[in-house]
Amino acid sequence: MKNKIYTFEQHLKESLKDPKFRKEWEDSEFEYQLSRALIEKRLSKKISQRDLAKKANTTQAVISRIEAMNSNPSVGLLRRLATALGVKLKIGFE
């Protein structure tokens, strides 16, 4: 018997049919977007986690946790990160 190979998109589409999984997926959207935005901005500025942490008066471990979606950073910390990266912090509701 041959194993069928699924793409991530196919697996996700199937998994989203489960209401419990769908809720968890949707609830993690904010953390994902925050993590992705921080990583992209930090890398585009060619700043290491350690250097960003120093500029934002925090630790490299805090930056790592935010980027790994294992943190719930305060608005104050997000402001410091934005300032350290030379960008504006923008938060909104939909």
Catalogue all structural domains in the chain, each as residue range(s) with its CATH number: 8-85 (1.10.260.40)
What tokens appear for 52 in the block?
């960003």
DSSP 6-60: --HHHHHHHHTTSHHHHHHHHHTHHHHHHHHHHHHHHHHTT--HHHHHHHTTS-H
Q: What is the pLDDT of residue 1?
A: 59
What tokens appear for 23 in the block?
């809720």
pLDDT digits (tens, 9 = 90+) for 32-78: 999 999 999 999 999 999 999 999 999 999 999 999 999 999 999 99
Q: How many whole angstroms separate alpha carbon 85 and alpha carbon 66? A: 15
Q: What is the pLDDT of residue 42?
A: 96
Q: What is the mean pLDDT of the chain?
A: 92
User: Where residue 79 falls among pLDDT bands split at 50, 70, 90?
Assistant: very high
